[in-house]
Each structure stands twice: as structure tokens, then as C-alpha cells.
Amino acid sequence: MTKRRSVLLAACAATMAMTVAACGGSAPEKTTKDGFAQAAQTDGTVTVWVDATRVAAAKQYQELHPEAKLDIVTYDGDANGSNYLQTKVQLFNRTGKGWPDVVFSSQNNEVTWAVDAGFAAPLDKGLIPAATLGGFAKGANDVCTVNGTVHCLRNDLSQAVLWYNAPLMKQFGYTVPKTWEEYQKLGEKVAAEHPGYLVGDAGDSFSPEIYLWASKCGANHITGPKSVEVNTTGENCTKMANLMDGLIKNKSMSISGVFSTEFAKNEADKVLLMPGPAWFGGAVFKDTLKTASKTIAVAPIPQWQGETSPATGNVGGGTWLLSQHSTNLKAATDFLTWVTTDNAYQGEKSPGFPAYAPAAENWLKAQGTAGYFVGDLGALKEGSSQVWPGWGSGQFSQEAIWAATVKPGLTQGQTIASLLPAWQDAIVKHAQSFGYKVNS
Amino acid sequence: MSVTSSPAGPGRRPRGAGQGWAGPAFVAGYTILLVAFGVLPIGYAVYFAFTDAGGTFTGFANFVGTAQDFRFLDAVGHVAVYLLFWLVSLVVFVVALALLLHRLASGPVSRTLRFLYYIPGALAGAASVLVWLFMLDPTVSPVRSLLSGMGFDTFGQVIAPGNLAVLFTIIAFWTGAGGWIVVMYGALNNIPQDVLEAARIDGAGAWKTAWHVQIPMLRKWIVYMVILAFAGGVQLFVEPQLLSLASVGVAGRDYSLNQLTYDFAFQMNNINGAAAVSVELLVVSASVAGFFVARSGFFDAD
């Protein structure tokens, strides 16, 4: 029986070896340049994977560069942590072909696996000039940096700010809160004087990144490539959790989630204030909630009284990756550089706050001219360099953990403060399952 | 990936001269496809399950490693509860509805019912789950009043972790049971009229006829349904995965063992661990199928 089994195993192994060999073909010659082993270069088509929003960027590049041979493929951009890119790259790694040359991802933690998988090319070893890299906002490419090497370029920043309905605030006679204490008092006032109106929403999987990150809660301090510090029960966490619990209880903070059908149907016109990332302006207020023009204004995210350094969270922001397997690195790099830095897209058309500083300047001016928002968007610029560095982008998804651990409890009427230990436990277990060394 | 055998046994007539080639010829195409897309991938998975990423033999390390993952036992529990709900409801309701359909035989009502039962089965799995996501969201659901009568006002309340096994059972029943009702109805039609008439002459009413005559004669079909439903149920994936995406993670992407397998393979880059869990699922499904086949006399000639 044992013999028969080993014969079977050997047969399977042989089949597999033949399959892999057949799929892989003979290995092409590689040259080490720009910090990695490059495939033989041709001037073939550059395959670009983008999400629906970024199709416009790729098409614009094609229009401006008619000579470029571009194959634009739309995918989900890994939205909601779908892992589509990772899934496909692992399959391509097995078959030895199929990788896209340039990819947009809406996830900040994409390089945490893409470097290990031998997919993301190093960009600061010759492909992208240091001057270009230096133009990105401070810390913008931190999420792209692994062991000191930059492996992706940030598309947009997603610093959290305080969005508010300017005409409604004026009508109610309220002033915009500068501290979390003022914010809490305002929430209590709104609940008493204008029940139904909202000062925020805590129903999204990225809510901890808006509120708890801005409170410097140490839930996700990535201290090395495979080590993380987790402490969700420190004072910085509990005081924000208590603040949120109070406002959820008096119903001035929603737990629906800004993209839920409930929110769009019942609460779209009830938003008085809303802490949220830079992209809320376009993606939430303008496109999803259809808030009228000249209504929404932006202020800095509140700080706790007595805080010396401002801190804000960072909710997503896309990245662009270049494939190590590209056979047309010149064209692929040209597209990558254009799409992340050129004013034609980033400075004028990008829906989010550009990570490339000169484009961001242009973008702010363009937003002012477009006239959708009330007042200037200076708070966004301020916030762009105030992201608290105590949270990182690990391989495990903080959003998924919060969604599965805290959100069901919230729906059933439990408080965030009471769920903090369970949140901690889930983060620790997920991190460990990815091989992280956890300090808590 | 079910490994159940076709219920079609060998012909009842003894094989005559010149017919020797017919049987093998008929099954040849099936056998080739079975080997190419069933047996070889299984062999490949078994090879992966006992090796590491570099192809070195690791014994049971992948099985031990994945079983020690903090999500593994939870997933086993979820699938077990779901299977209990799903199989019991399937057997009870499918048989009951088929008998009911048979009682109403030959009228236009029967034809309409058969058509209605069949419709959900004709929808692709993912599409029917999407229909259910729409049904379960009180904000947009056409049965909103029913949901709010049960105390559900938001999508989050409906998909609370404690409700998931019931929800997946309802979805699976809706998508899968119609086809089985039609199959059972066909099997009921195959019961000779004289047998039923004899029962009636002996004084058996509808209930007694069903319990003592029809259900025993449906036994093999019920076993067949249970085997396939078990193999499908163990591999629960589409329903929780889509619900997880729709709820932005609230429903959890590691609810079922198959989802965990997917996570191992494509999120944690542990294809070998994923293969180990897949092999476990295969062994469980094949063992249960074997048990039912042996106990029910599934292949006994009439």
C-alpha cells in the first residue's frame, strides 16, 4: 500500500513538473540593472491595470502619447481588500507569464506582499530619478518603502480632516470645533437641539483610522518588516472610544457607514460634521451623497486639549506598482511617472489629493476654481504632513479585523470601549498568523 | 470537486456477445475528463499538501499547521452547524414538497409549481446570492415589512454573526432545492401505479402511503441528494464570500473552511496549507459518501 502511494505521489510530482515546465517555457536571459534582474527588454505593449476611477488617467495618457502601446485593463483595484492582484500575481508566478506592467491599487499595504512575491520593482535604484521621488509629500511613500527601498509610488494622500456643512453650521449658530472636547460638546448639543443631525459616522471598516489613529491609539505600530506593537487599551484609545460611544448613544454619530444604502437614503442630508479623509470631499459628498455645491467646507481634524503635536489618520490612498517582470520598462516607467506626477492628470483631474507635492498645489488651485467647496482647502494641505507615524501598513488588514470584530458588536448595541480588548486579541492573532512578532 | 459516483449502475440485462465494447465506449469520454479534471488535480493537491513551497516532503506539517490556525476550529464549527441546518431542511422540505407536488399531479397547478421550483436552480450561484443580498437589506428589500416585523431595520442587524448559518441555509435551499424537488418528483412518478393502488386498496391514506410506500422507494434518491448536498455544503464558499464583500467584511472572510483555504492560498501565500485543508475536505466528503453508499445499498441491483 505504501509503495503504491509513493508511486502515486511520484506520478503526481512528475505531472506537476511537466505542467510547470510546459507553462513556464525556457527561462529568458535576465540582466541585473536598476537594482533587480530585468527580463529581456522589447518595445512591446505595456499592460496597465487600473480600477474604474483610474481608467480616465490611463486614457488621458494614451491621448497625450498616441505613440505609446498601452493595453488598459480594468479590475477592482483591490477595493475592500479583495486581494485580486495578489491572487493573480501568485498564479502568474507559477505559470511564469501574465503579469501586468503597471498596476494601480487602492490598498496601502500592497508592497508588504508584492516585494516578497518578487513582483514590485525597486524604483529608487535607477528607474525613477531622486529629484522626482523628492517631490512627493513628506512621508507619502512610507507605505511603499520596504527595508529602505521604494517599491511603489503613492497616488493620493488620504489625511483625515473635518468636513462640515457650512451653511447649516451657520444656521444653527455653531462654531467648528478645534478640539475633541469641543467636538464632543457640540455632538451633545446637536443631539439635544437638532436631533437627527450627525457630527460623524463610525460605521465604516476604516472608522478606526479616522478616529482612533487621530487620537494616537497604538493599535497598529509596525516596528519592522515583520514586527508590530499592539495596544488598543491605552488611554489614547479609551478616551476616543468613550467619546464615540457617547455620541453613538445620543445618536449624533451614525453607525451606518457612509457607503451603505441606509446612510444614502436616510442620513445623506443630515450631515452637519464628518471627520473623514481627503477623498471624502469628492467620493462621499459630491458623488455618493450628492451634497449640493457651495455646502461643504473643510477644517483641520480636532486635537485633544493640551496636545502639542497635531495628529491625523490616513485612510487609504492609492499606490502604483511597477512589475519586475516588465519587458518594456522604459515605457512602463514613463507611464508610472506621468500618472503619479504630471499636472495634466494629478494636478487637474485626480479625484483625490495628489501625493506629489507640486501636483497637489495645482490640484488645490483647480479645486478652488471648480467652486464646489466653500472656502479654501488649506486644511487638507496642512493635514498632509501631519499623519501620525504611529500606525503603519502591515500585511494583515486592519479594516477587515475591525469590520469582523467591532462592527457586529456595535450593531448589537455594545460599546466600542467594551470591544477594545476583543479588537486587540483579533489584531494580535491575525498579525501572528502572518508571521509577525507582536508586542502588546 | 465532489467525488461521488454516478447512480447509473450497470445494465440489468446480462451482457451479450458483441456488446462488450459498448459500455467502455460510453464511459470513455467521462473517464478521460474525470482523470484530467478530477483525479489529476486531486493528485496535485495531495502532493502540495505533503510538501512545502520548495517541494520538500513535510509529512503532516501542513495539516498540523493549518489546524492550529486560530480560525480553523471556528470555521469547522460554522460549517458543521450550517450542514446540520442545510441537510435537515433539504431532506424534510424537498421530500415534503415533492410529495405535495405529486398529489397535485397532472393539473396545470403541478406544471406551474414545477416551473416555479425550478427557476431558482436555473440562476447561477453567484447571481442568486446577489438577489438575496438585495432581499436581506431592509433599506431596499421588497420584503422590508417582513424584515422589520422580525426586528431587523438595518443590513448590519440582518447579517449579525449568529444569523449567518440560517441565512446561508435559506439561500442554499432557495437556489438548490428546486432542482431536487423536480428530481424527486420524477422519482415519485417512477413508482408503479399498481403499488400505490394496492396501498390504497389496503386502506392506506395519503400520509401512510407516503410514509410506508413512497418515501422508502425514494430512499436511494434521498441518499444521492444527501451525498451531493453534503459535498457541496462542506465546500460552502460563494455565499459567505459575497456576503463578506457586500458587508465590507462584517460577515467575515474566514467563515467557512473553503474561505479559509482561499485565504491561506492567496492572502497568506501558503498554497501548501490550503491544499492540506482541501484534502481534508475531500477525505470528509468521500468518507461520508462511502458511509451512505454502504449503508443504503445504493448500488444494489433491484
Beta-carbon separation of A403 and B248 below 8 A: yes
Q: How far apart are CA B264 and CA A434, in angstroms?
A: 10
* B122: confidence class by pLDDT, cuts 50, 70, 90: confident
Cβ-based contacts of A117 with chain B (< 8 Å):
269
Beta-carbon separation of B47 and A16 below 8 A: yes
H/E segment holding residue A332: helix A329-341
Strand pairing class (A152-154; A319-322): antiparallel
**pLDDT of the residue at B14:** 53
Amino acid letter, B36: A
Q: Mean of the pLDDT values across residues B70-79?
A: 96
Residue B73: C-alpha distances to residues A13, A29, B66, B167, B237 (Å)? 31, 47, 10, 21, 17
pLDDT in tens, B15-65: 555 568 888 999 999 999 999 999 999 999 999 999 998 889 999 999 999
pLDDT in tens, A389-415: 899 888 888 988 999 999 999 999 999
* B13: confidence class by pLDDT, cuts 50, 70, 90: low
> CB-based contact (8 Å) between B43 and chain A?
yes
**pLDDT of the residue at A7:** 43
Cβ-based contacts of A266 with chain B (< 8 Å):
139
Domain-wise residue ranges, chain A: 34-157+316-355, 162-310+375-439
Q: Mean of the pLDDT values across residues A105-110?
A: 91
pLDDT in tens, B84-94: 999 999 999 99
Distance of CA A124 to the CA centre of its chain: 22
* B301: confidence class by pLDDT, cuts 50, 70, 90: low
Residue A159's φ and ψ, nearest 5 degrees, are -60, 140
In this predicted structure, the answer to whether residue A18 has a pLDDT above a threshold of 60 is: no
Strand pairing class (A160-165; A36-39): unpaired
**What's the topology of domain A162-310+375-439?**
D-Maltodextrin-Binding Protein; domain 2 (3.40.190)
> CB-based contact (8 Å) between B273 and chain A?
no
* B302: confidence class by pLDDT, cuts 50, 70, 90: low
- Nearest residue to A232 (alpha-carbon basis) of A412, A414, A439, A409: A439
- pTM for the whole structure: 0.83
**pLDDT of the residue at A187:** 98
pLDDT in tens, A145-183: 988 999 999 999 999 999 999 999 999 999 999 999 999
Does domain B69-127+154-269 match CATH 2.60.40.10? no
* A369: confidence class by pLDDT, cuts 50, 70, 90: confident
Residue B40: C-alpha distances to residues A9, A93, B43, B259, B290 (Å)? 11, 21, 5, 23, 21
CATH code for the part of the protein at A34-157+316-355? 3.40.190.10
Beta-carbon separation of A262 and B155 below 8 A: yes
Q: Mean of the pLDDT values across residues A235-246?
A: 98
Q: Mean of the pLDDT values across residues A363-373?
A: 89
In this predicted structure, the answer to whether residue A26 has a pLDDT above a threshold of 60 is: no
Q: Mean of the pLDDT values across residues B133-159?
A: 90
> CB-based contact (8 Å) between A2 and chain B?
no
How close are the terminal C-alpha atoms of chain A, in Å? 50
Residue of B nearest to A429 (CA): B70
- The percentage of chain A sitting over the pLDDT mark of 90, rounded to a whole number, equals 76
B-interface mutation test, from A6, A12, A95, A112, most B Cβ less than 10 A away:
A12
Partner residue opposite A408 with nearest CB, options B50, B161, B245: B161
Partner residue opposite B70 with nearest CB, options A205, A255, A433: A433
Q: What are all long-range contacts of A248-252, with beta carbons under 8 Å and residues at least 24 apart? A: A248/A202, A248/A410, A248/A415, A248/A416, A250/A187, A250/A188, A250/A191, A251/A191, A251/A195, A251/A196, A252/A187, A252/A188, A252/A190, A252/A191, A252/A197, A252/A198, A252/A199, A252/A200
Q: Is B46 helix (H, G, I), strand (E, B) or coil?
A: helix
Q: How far apart are CA A428 and CA A407, in angstroms?
A: 18
Q: C-alpha cell of B131?
A: 438577489
> CB-based contact (8 Å) between A403 and chain B?
yes
In this predicted structure, the answer to whether residue A1 has a pLDDT above a threshold of 70 is: no
H/E segment holding residue A48: strand A46-50
In this predicted structure, the answer to whether residue B4 has a pLDDT above a threshold of 80 is: no
- Nearest residue to A44 (alpha-carbon basis) of A25, A72, A71: A71
In this predicted structure, the answer to whether residue A24 has a pLDDT above a threshold of 50 is: no
* B168: confidence class by pLDDT, cuts 50, 70, 90: very high
**Sign of the CA dihedral running B65, B71, B72, B73:** positive
Cβ-based contacts of B269 with chain A (< 8 Å):
90, 113, 116-117
**B75: closest CA of chain A, how far (Å):** 14
Partner residue opposite A400 with nearest CB, options B139, B155, B253: B253
Q: How far apart are CA B70 and CA A425, in angstroms?
A: 11
User: How many other CB atoms sit within 10 Å of the CB of residue A372?
Assistant: 16
Low-confidence winner among A3-7, A153-157, B211-215 (lowest mean pLDDT): A3-7
**pLDDT of the residue at B18:** 57
Q: Which residue has the cell 491544499?
A: B275
A-interface mutation test, from B250, B262, B263, B279, most A Cβ less than 10 A away:
B250
Strand pairing class (A200-201; A253-254): parallel
Cβ-based contacts of B155 with chain A (< 8 Å):
260-262
Cβ-based contacts of A116 with chain B (< 8 Å):
269
> CB-based contact (8 Å) between A52 and chain B?
no
H/E segment holding residue A201: strand A200-201
- Nearest residue to A75 (alpha-carbon basis) of A93, A61, A89: A89
* A11: confidence class by pLDDT, cuts 50, 70, 90: very low
Beta-carbon separation of B248 and A90 below 8 A: no
Q: C-alpha cell of A165?
A: 456643512
Q: How far apart are CA A426 and CA A189, in angstroms?
A: 35
DSSP state of A263: I
> CB-based contact (8 Å) between A86 and chain B?
yes
- Nearest residue to A13 (alpha-carbon basis) of B56, B208, B10: B56
Please give the biggest Cα pair distance in chain B: 72
A222-240 core/surface letters (b: 16 or more CB in 10 A; e: else):
beeeeebbbbbbeebbbbb
Q: How far apart are CA A9 and CA B43, in angstroms?
A: 7
Look over chain A and give the mean of its residue pLDDT values, rounded to a whole number: 91
Domain-wise residue ranges, chain B: 69-127+154-269
Partner residue opposite B156 with nearest CB, options A16, A81, A411: A411
Partner residue opposite B47 with nearest CB, options A12, A86, A402: A12
Cβ neighbours of residue A207 under 8 Å, at least 6 residues apart? A201, A402
Q: Do domains A34-157+316-355 and A162-310+375-439 have the same CATH topology?
A: yes
Q: Mean of the pLDDT values across residues A62-74?
A: 96
H/E segment holding residue A73: strand A70-74
A10-19 core/surface letters (b: 16 or more CB in 10 A; e: else):
eebbeebeee
Residue of B nearest to A20 (CA): B44
Q: How far apart are CA A76 and CA A80, in angstroms?
A: 9
> CB-based contact (8 Å) between A147 and chain B?
no
> CB-based contact (8 Å) between A14 and chain B?
no
Most confident stretch, A108-117, A198-207, B168-177: A198-207
DSSP letter string over A119-185?
A: -BPPSTTTTS-HHHHHTBPTTGGGGGEETTEE-EEE-EE-BEEEEEEHHHHHHHT----SBHHHHHH
DSSP letter string over B200-260?
A: HHTT--HHHHIIIIIHHHHHHHHHHHHHHHHHHHHT--HHHHHHHHHTTTTT-TTSSHHHH
Partner residue opposite A12 with nearest CB, options B43, B252, B269: B43
Cβ-based contacts of B137 with chain A (< 8 Å):
261
